[in-house]
């Protein structure tokens, strides 16, 4: 590390390190350096006069032609400045943008989520990279972090071996791909090469030695090739930029490993790039190269005529020079070169195999423009805000695993993202060690611990969007599926019970179940029981299917007369007609009704919207006859209602008391409670007409803890 120059020489230092900035910008840099000096004096021995890391980081960034705000943020992100000045003070002296950048960089420098196990979990590494981008308000903060990592790697030699390997592995898994993604190739190469030195020192130094041993030979070879090629292009009147392309140690190692070749067998250690003005010049230059040097046909690729999936275009060929050296030549236009080299998303998609994303394209293009044009303005900086992940949050399990959720997700969403059963049995959550409600909105970087019970189950409230328990479609779907399965099980049980009850009542000792399934066109017994329990198959339909002998005529007349005496129905304008009320739809006085004439059962009164009437044949429809409620005599009808509540205690008592006050008689009641204190109360009540039923349901709905009350259909 170099020593920090005396304070009165800071202006000279700025001119030396940051020559591209004018006097006004240099003054801002001087101010930042003086602040670093003051912080150093407070936190370290001033006589040690150690050069701040911020200066090293800023000089790394200068190779990317970065702007003033990024340089200032790099200087002020030095660990010795953290805590010495507040965000407010930085904002007042250097502007809100610099203060925001410093805040992001400090967070990025402190984050410690990576673990070596992520090397075997590509999805976790990618999620962490996405989180780092999502947690920063300005992508330039990530650039500064990358420069900090380069500076750390350059000085990693003095660290313990375990730390060296950890930092190097984290760099290869997280930070080098980030640099590649942002299109900063010079950062990517240095990060990879420096990290590779500590991950696999044996192969690193072997390749480095091989390159060093042959460096002079390669330089002579390439220079001779370049001189000849430039002259040939000039003779043909082709304007071109021709230069040697350096190879990097980690890249060489990856090719050796993937292709299972030795370093001497690699074609592109000697590489030349030719940049021409237009498309036709590409093929003219290619023809010229092939006419001067022998080329290897199987190594020729025309990515101009056949671009890669990501849009990459270039001509690639490998030729053999007079000394039998294999030299790779890439020929492209300036536009193709910028597309391939200047950090557009297609470049990193090719390298990493990622999918297309238009938001990423815009983000990367904005970054490159800002790097190339310091005067691009505040509007462009706004594009940096990470819109790519503005709809995501990234939270941690207690074990450090990252979970990617939509913005607005809750601890309950998190629980279902971990495992469906954890979601079902979730009863509470700790966020960063503190108990939080299940409706709490999670933020990126938080750690969530789910509290479960052994036999818990979902709550109906979780599906209410107004209560805010769930946001993710996956979790909502899991809860809905659970309730559907529960209802299915309850209906199957009810159907079995009903079939058994009817069979015993009618004296049937054995049932022909396959014939029943065939009659109702159902594939399995469970489907039959479910339809029966849900009411899709009525008692009348069941009895008819079972082929039960009709009841004695005298008894039938007695029952009909009894029902008629209790009802006030006029059929075709005639009073005192013997009728029965249909069990399938249980009509109530006030509802539109219609009669169905049967030779065996007389006239049965249905609601006009009864589902069974919708399936009558044309012949059966001729048996329908007009009916209406008549007379002033009060009639009582038994109606089933279902009440859903989220608090079972006193539910039955409260509802019973209300019905008693309304002078409504209860014929039957069944209460089913759940472990989470929610309950379903099913009741059969005697109602005179639809007005009374509506009034009763409205009053019940106003009771505390009632979720839903409805007539059972």
CATH of domain 391-471: 3.10.20.30
Q: What is residue 382's predicted lDDT score, i.e. its pLDDT?
A: 40
User: Could you give the C-alpha distances from 14 to 5, 53, 93, 508, in angstroms and in order?
Assistant: 11, 15, 18, 102
Q: What is residue 552's predicted lDDT score, i.e. its pLDDT?
A: 32
Whether residue 421 is predicted with pLDDT greater than 80 in this model: the reply is yes
Q: Do 25 and 75 form a contact (C-beta atoms < 8 A)?
A: no
Q: Do 262 and 256 form a contact (C-beta atoms < 8 A)?
A: yes
Whether residue 600 is predicted with pLDDT greater than 70 in this model: the reply is no
The superfamily (CATH) of domain 210-342 is Beta Polymerase, domain 2 (3.30.460.10)
Distance, CA of 436 to CA of 37 (rounded, Å): 43
Categorize the per-residue pLDDT at 655 as very low, low, confident or very high, splitting at 50, 70 and 90: confident
Q: Do 637 and 629 form a contact (C-beta atoms < 8 A)?
A: no
Categorize the per-residue pLDDT at 128 as very low, low, confident or very high, splitting at 50, 70 and 90: low
| Better pLDDT: 142 or 237 | 237
Task: List the alpha helices (DSSP H) in 521-674.
Answer: 525-534, 539-546, 553-566, 618-621, 651-661
Q: Do 403 and 124 form a contact (C-beta atoms < 8 A)?
A: no
Q: Count Cβ atoms within 10 A of the Cβ of residue 364 and give its class: 0-12 exposed, 13-18 middle, 19 or more buried.
A: buried
Q: What is residue 122's predicted lDDT score, i.e. its pLDDT?
A: 58
Angle between helix 140-154 and helix 161-170 axes, rounded to 10 deg: 150
Q: DSSP secondary-structure letter at 433?
A: T
Q: What is residue 628's predicted lDDT score, i.e. its pLDDT?
A: 83
Q: What is residue 559's predicted lDDT score, i.e. its pLDDT?
A: 37
Q: Do domains 391-471 and 637-711 have the same CATH topology?
A: no
Query: Could you report the per-residue pLDDT of 340-355, keeping only the tens digit for each?
Result: 654 433 333 333 444 4
Residue 699 backbone phi and psi in degrees, to 5: -65, -40
Span 578-587, average pLDDT: 78
Q: What is residue 344's predicted lDDT score, i.e. its pLDDT?
A: 34
Contacts of residue 666, defined as CB under 8 A and 6 or more positions apart, other chains included, come to 656, 659, 683, 684, 685, 686
Categorize the per-residue pLDDT at 548 as very low, low, confident or very high, splitting at 50, 70 and 90: very low
Q: Percentage of the chain surpassing pLDDT 90?
A: 11
Residue 597, SS3 per DSSP: strand
- Provide DSSP, 480-505: HHHHHHHHHHHHHHHHHHHHHHHHHH
Q: Do 284 and 236 form a contact (C-beta atoms < 8 A)?
A: yes
Q: Do 438 and 429 form a contact (C-beta atoms < 8 A)?
A: yes
Tokens 């290619």 correspond to what residue? 286
Q: DSSP secondary-structure letter at 205?
A: H
Q: Which CATH number fits domain 637-711: 3.90.1150.10, 3.30.70.260, 3.40.50.300, 3.30.420.40?
A: 3.30.70.260
Distance, CA of 689 to CA of 267 (rounded, Å): 92
* Range of 14-23, 405-414, 537-546 with top mean pLDDT: 405-414
Does pTM surpass 0.75?
A: no
Q: Do 633 and 584 form a contact (C-beta atoms < 8 A)?
A: no
User: Could you give the C-alpha distances from 180 to 133, 186, 231, 352, in angstroms and in order?
Assistant: 13, 9, 35, 9
Q: What is residue 581's predicted lDDT score, i.e. its pLDDT?
A: 80
Distance, CA of 439 to CA of 527 (rounded, Å): 37
| Better pLDDT: 707 or 342 | 707
In the chain, where the domains are located:
7-184, 210-342, 391-471, 482-546, 553-628, 637-711
| Better pLDDT: 327 or 358 | 327
Which CATH architecture does the domain made up of 7-184 adopt?
Orthogonal Bundle (1.10)
Which tokens is 609 given? 């919207």
Distance, CA of 673 to CA of 140 (rounded, Å): 57
| Better pLDDT: 45 or 28 | 28
Whether residue 555 is predicted with pLDDT greater than 50 in this model: the reply is no
Residue 557 backbone phi and psi in degrees, to 5: -65, -35
Pairing of the two strands 706-711 and 637-645: antiparallel
Contacts of residue 135, defined as CB under 8 A and 6 or more positions apart, other chains included, come to 104, 107, 108, 111, 394, 444, 445
Q: Percentage of the chain surpassing pLDDT 70?
A: 77
Q: What is residue 315's predicted lDDT score, i.e. its pLDDT?
A: 94
| Sheet of strand 637-645: strand arrangement | 666-673, 679-687, 637-645, 706-711
Distance, CA of 125 to CA of 173 (rounded, Å): 7
Angle between helix 513-520 and helix 525-534 axes, rounded to 10 deg: 70
Query: Could you report the per-residue pLDDT of 625-649, keeping only the tens digit for each?
Result: 788 877 655 566 778 889 888 766 7
Q: What is residue 496's predicted lDDT score, i.e. its pLDDT?
A: 84
Q: DSSP secondary-structure letter at 175?
A: I
Q: Do 326 and 320 form a contact (C-beta atoms < 8 A)?
A: yes
* Mean pLDDT of the residues in the chain: 76
Tally Cβ neighbours within 10 Å of residue 209: 10
Whether residue 4 is predicted with pLDDT greater than 50 in this model: the reply is no
Whether residue 392 is predicted with pLDDT greater than 80 in this model: the reply is no
Q: Which of 165-174, 360-369, 458-467 has the lowest mean pLDDT?
A: 360-369
User: Could you give the C-alpha distances from 189 to 157, 169, 185, 348, 494, in angstroms and in order?
Assistant: 19, 15, 6, 13, 69
| Chain-centre distance for alpha carbon 319 | 48
Whether residue 256 is predicted with pLDDT greater than 70 in this model: the reply is yes
Whether residue 5 is predicted with pLDDT greater than 80 in this model: the reply is no
* Range of 2-6, 110-114, 119-123, 318-322 with top mean pLDDT: 318-322
Whether residue 296 is predicted with pLDDT greater than 60 in this model: the reply is yes
Span 451-456, average pLDDT: 84
Residue 434 backbone phi and psi in degrees, to 5: -115, 140
Q: What is residue 486's predicted lDDT score, i.e. its pLDDT?
A: 78
Q: Which residues pair with 683 in a beta bridge?
A: 641, 669
Contacts of residue 622, defined as CB under 8 A and 6 or more positions apart, other chains included, come to none
Q: Do 347 and 312 form a contact (C-beta atoms < 8 A)?
A: yes
């Amino acid at each position: 590390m170099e020593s920090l120059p005396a304070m009165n020489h800071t202006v000279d230092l700025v001119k030396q390190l940051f020559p591209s900035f004018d006097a006004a910008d240099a003054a801002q840099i001087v101010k930042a350096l003086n602040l670093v000096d003051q912080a150093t004096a407070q936190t370290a021995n001033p006589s040690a006069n150690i050069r701040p890391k911020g200066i090293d980081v800023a000089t790394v960034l200068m190779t990317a032609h970065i702007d003033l705000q990024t340089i200032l943020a790099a200087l002020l992100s030095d660990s010795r400045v953290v805590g010495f000045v507040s965000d407010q003070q930085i904002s007042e002296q250097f502007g809100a943008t610099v203060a925001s950048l410093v805040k992001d960089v400090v967070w990025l420098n402190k984050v410690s989520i990576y673990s070596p196990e992520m090397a075997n979990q590509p999805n976790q590494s990618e999620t962490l990279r996405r989180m780092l981008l999502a947690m920063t308000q300005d992508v330039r903060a990530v650039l500064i972090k990358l420069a900090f990592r380069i500076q750390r790697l350059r000085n990693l030699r003095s660290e313990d071996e375990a730390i060296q390997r950890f930092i190097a592995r984290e760099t290869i898994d997280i930070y080098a791909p980030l640099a590649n993604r942002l299109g900063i190739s010079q950062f990517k190469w240095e990060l990879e090469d420096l990290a590779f030195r500590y991950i696999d020192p044996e192969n690193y130094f072997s390749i480095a030695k091989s390159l060093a041993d042959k460096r002079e030979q390669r330089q002579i070879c390439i220079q001779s090739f370049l001189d000849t090629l430039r002259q040939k292009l000039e003779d043909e009147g082709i304007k071109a930029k021709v230069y040697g392309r350096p190879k990097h140690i980690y890249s060489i190692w990856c090719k050796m490993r993937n292709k299972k070749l030795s370093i001497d067998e690699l074609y592109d250690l000697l590489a030349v790039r030719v940049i021409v003005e237009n498309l036709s010049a590409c093929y003219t230059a290619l023809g010229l190269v092939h006419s001067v040097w022998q080329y290897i046909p199987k190594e020729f690729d025309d990515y101009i005529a056949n671009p890669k999936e990501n849009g990459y275009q270039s001509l690639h060929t490998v030729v053999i020079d007079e000394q039998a050296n294999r030299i790779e030549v890439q020929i492209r236009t300036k536009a193709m070169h910028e597309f391939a080299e200047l950090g557009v998303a297609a470049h990193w998609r090719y390298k990493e195999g990622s999918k297309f994303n238009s938001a990423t394209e815009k983000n990367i293009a904005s970054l490159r423009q800002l790097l190339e044009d310091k005067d691009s303005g505040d509007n462009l900086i706004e594009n940096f805000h990470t819109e790519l992940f503005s709809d995501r949050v990234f939270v941690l399990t207690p074990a450090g695993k990252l979970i990617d959720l939509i913005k607005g997700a809750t601890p309950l969403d998190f629980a279902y993202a971990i495992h469906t059963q954890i979601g079902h049995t979730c009863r509470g959550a700790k966020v960063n060690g503190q108990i939080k409600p299940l409706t709490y909105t999670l933020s990126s970087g938080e750690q969530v611990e789910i509290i479960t019970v052994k036999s818990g189950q979902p709550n109906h409230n979780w599906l209410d969007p107004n209560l805010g328990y769930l946001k993710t479609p996956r979790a909502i779907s899991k809860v809905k599926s659970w309730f559907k399965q529960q209802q299915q099980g309850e209906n199957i049980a009810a159907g079995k019970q009903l079939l058994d009850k009817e069979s015993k009542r009618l004296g049937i000792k054995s049932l022909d179940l396959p014939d029943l399934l065939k009659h109702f066109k159902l594939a399995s017994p469970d489907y039959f029981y479910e339809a029966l329990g849900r009411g899709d198959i009525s008692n009348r339909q069941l009895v008819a299917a079972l082929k039960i002998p009709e009841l004695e005529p005298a008894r039938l007349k007695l029952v009909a007369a009894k029902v008629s005496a209790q009802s006030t129905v006029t059929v075709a304008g005639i009073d005192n007609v013997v009728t029965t009320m249909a069990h399938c739809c249980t009509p109530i006085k006030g509802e539109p009704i219609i009669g169905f004439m049967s030779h065996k059962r007389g006239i049965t009164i249905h609601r006009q919207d009864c589902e069974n009437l919708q399936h009558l044949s044309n012949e059966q429809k001729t048996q329908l006859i007009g009916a209406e409620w008549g007379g002033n005599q009060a009639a009582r009808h038994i109606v089933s209602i279902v009440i859903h509540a989220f608090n079972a205690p006193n539910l039955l008592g409260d509802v019973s008391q209300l019905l008693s006050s309304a002078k409504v008689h209860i014929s039957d009641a069944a209460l089913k409670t759940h472990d989470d204190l929610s309950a379903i109360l099913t009741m059969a009540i005697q109602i005179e007409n639809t007005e009374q039923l509506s009034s009763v349901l409205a009053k019940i709905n106003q009771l505390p803890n009632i979720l839903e009350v409805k007539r059972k259909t």
